[in-house]
Amino acid sequence: PIKALLFDLDGVIVDTAIFHYQAWRRMANSLGFDITEEFNEQLKGISRTESLDIILAHGGLVLSDEKKAELAAQKNEWYLELVSQMTPANILPGVTDFFAQVKAAGLKTALGSVSKNARLILERIGMLDDFDAIIDGTKISRGKPDPEVFLKGAAETKAQPDECVVFEDAVAGIEAAKRGGMLAVGIGEPAVLTWADLVVGSLADLTLDEVLTLAPTHR
Ligand code: BG6
Ligand code: MG
């Protein structure tokens, strides 16, 4: 039986994925090149430093570690400017309803995010107390697609991997869930999240019953 539901943050609970994209794009533009929304897909679920490396390679730039640290800090500053305007109104459609069903059913919840800003964002949207466990970028040594973040979430909620369902908007996050031996629900496009066991546009399109009767698919 399913015991725990593990949620990614950016793009699943709140639409901060767009803020990450805007801040990275601003940084790329300041360096003289651009990134597209399509390019941005591969950055979802990827840590700040790894994202920076991917973007700099895309722009054909090789920079010193000092310069890279400066750029990562600058991006985070721009990102936090956008985040600072967030309120509970930024919670994505269906999330609040879905959590009410989850709590009523007595299931455990964990956050599984590689973001170091996760607690700050949960505080801003008033959801800090909605998780039994919070695994974020400060608690892991390997980012997605490594399953570490979700395996830690499972352990803290005392669930086995096959008793967990992961909710993810990132290709790397779905891969992390599957590598961890968990069921994965994709939030987004089926054509992008091909490894997910089910893909929906948002949590508003899903009932808890559908999740609890989910069977793994092998695509
Ligand atoms: C993930 C986002 O949740 O967190 C990535 O999908 C982001 O885009 C990563 O790079 C790290 O976030 P932060 O807040 O630590 O820079
Ligand atoms: Mg995400």
pLDDT in tens, 100-145: 999 999 999 999 999 999 999 999 999 999 999 999 999 999 999 9
Query: Could you report the per-residue pLDDT of 2-39, keeping only the tens digit for each?
Result: 999 999 999 999 999 899 999 999 999 999 999 999 99
Q: Name the DSSP letter for residue 42.
A: G
CA distances from 14 to 18, 35, 148 (A): 10, 22, 22
Query: How many Å separate Cα 159 from the centre of its chain?
Result: 20
Query: How many Å separate Cα 156 from the centre of its chain?
Result: 18
Confidence of residue 218 (pLDDT cuts 50, 70, 90): low
Structural tokens at position 150 = 């979700």
Reference 183, options 203, 199, 205, 207; nearest CA is 199
Q: Whose CA is nearest to atom 8 of ligand 1?
A: 44
Find the residues whose C-beta lies inside 6 A of ligand 1. Answer: 9-10, 17, 20, 43-48, 51, 76, 113-117, 137, 170
Reference 140, options 165, 174, 111, 113; nearest CA is 113
Please give the pLDDT value at position 1: 93
Is the complex ipTM higher than 0.85?
A: yes
Tell me the CA–centroid distance for residue 151 and ligand 1, in Å.
19
Please give the pLDDT value at position 217: 84
Our mutation pick for probing the ligand 1 site, out of 7, 10, 55, counting the most ligand atoms within 8 A of Cβ, is 10
Q: Name the DSSP letter for residue 142.
A: S
SS3 124: helix
Give the environment of ion ligand 2: residues with CB less than 5 A.
Answer: 8, 10-11, 169-170
Other beta carbons within 10 Å of 106: 7
Query: Could you report the per-residue pLDDT of 147-173, keeping only the tens digit for each?
Result: 999 999 999 999 999 999 999 999 999
Pairing verdict, β 133-135 and 164-168: unpaired
Tell me the CA–centroid distance for residue 104 and ligand 1, in Å.
30
* Rounded-to-integer distance, Cα 100 and Cα 207, Å: 11
Residue 166 has, within 13 A of its CA and on its CB side, a CA count of 38
pLDDT at 63 over 60: yes
Hey, which residues are catalytic here? Answer: 8, 10
- CA dihedral sign of residues 82, 56, 7, 202: positive
Please give the pLDDT value at position 85: 92
Please give the pLDDT value at position 215: 86
